[in-house]
Amino acid sequence: MKKTGERTRVACAALALMAAILFLCSSCSKAGNSTPSSSSQNQTQSYVLTAAVSSKMPADKLTSLDNTCVGWGVGKTEIGRRPSYAENCNLKYKDYNALFVGEDNKNVYMTFDEGYENGYTAPILDTLKEKGVKAVFFVTYDYVKRNPNLVKQMIAEGHTLGNHSWSHPSMPSKSVEGAEQEIMKLHNYVKEEFGYEMTLFRFPMGEYSTRALAVVKNCGYKSIFWSFAYVDWKTDAQPPAAEALKKATNGAHNGAIYLLHAVSSTNNAILGQLIDDIKAQGYNWSELKA
Q: Which of 60, 159, 261, 277 is catalytic?
A: 261
Q: Is 164 a catalytic residue?
A: no
The yes-or-no verdict on residue 33 having pLDDT over 90 is no
Per DSSP, what are the bridge partners of residue 114? Answer: 139
What would the pLDDT profile of 131-174 be if each residue is shown by its tens digit? 999 999 999 999 999 999 999 999 999 999 999 999 999 999 99
Q: What sign results for the dihedral spanned by CA atoms 92, 93, 99, 104?
A: positive
Compute the distance between CA of residue 52 and CA of residue 220 in angstroms, rounded to an integer.
11
241 by DSSP, 3-state: which? helix
Instruction: Say if pTM beats, i.e. exceeds, 0.75.
Output: yes
- pLDDT number for residue 56: 86
Region 248-255: what's the mean pLDDT? Answer: 96
The yes-or-no verdict on residue 231 having pLDDT over 80 is yes
What would the pLDDT profile of 38-86 be if each residue is shown by its tens digit? 333 332 222 222 223 336 899 889 999 999 999 998 666 778 899 999 9
HSE, CB side, 13 Å, CA atoms: give it for residue 15.
6
One-letter amino acid identity for 230? Y
What would the pLDDT profile of 101-123 be if each residue is shown by its tens digit? 999 999 999 999 999 999 999 99
Q: What is the mean pLDDT of the chain?
A: 85
Region 208-233: what's the mean pLDDT? Answer: 96
Q: Is 261 a catalytic residue?
A: yes
Q: Of the candidates 15, 34, 13, which has an alpha carbon nearest to the alpha carbon of residue 23?
A: 15
Q: What sign results for the dihedral spanned by CA atoms 49, 53, 54, 59?
A: negative
Q: Where do the structural domains in the chain lie, given as residue ranges?
A: 2-53, 61-286
User: What CATH number was assigned to the domain covering residues 61-286?
Assistant: 3.20.20.370
Q: Of the candidates 65, 73, 68, 66, which has an alpha carbon nearest to the alpha carbon of residue 206?
A: 73
Q: Output helix, strand, coil percentages for the chain, rounded to the nearest 5.
A: 55, 15, 35
CA distances from residue 46 to 21, 54, 67, 226 in whole angstroms, order as listed: 32, 12, 33, 39
- pLDDT number for residue 77: 72
Compute the distance between CA of residue 219 and CA of residue 180 in angstroms, rounded to an integer.
7
Compute the distance between CA of residue 281 and CA of residue 132 in angstroms, rounded to an integer.
17
What would the pLDDT profile of 166-186 be if each residue is shown by its tens digit? 999 999 999 999 999 999 999
Reported as type and span, the H/E element at residue 12 is helix 2-33
Q: Which of 113, 159, 187, 253 is catalytic?
A: 113
The yes-or-no verdict on residue 32 having pLDDT over 50 is no
Least confident span in 78-87, 175-184, 199-208, 246-255: 78-87
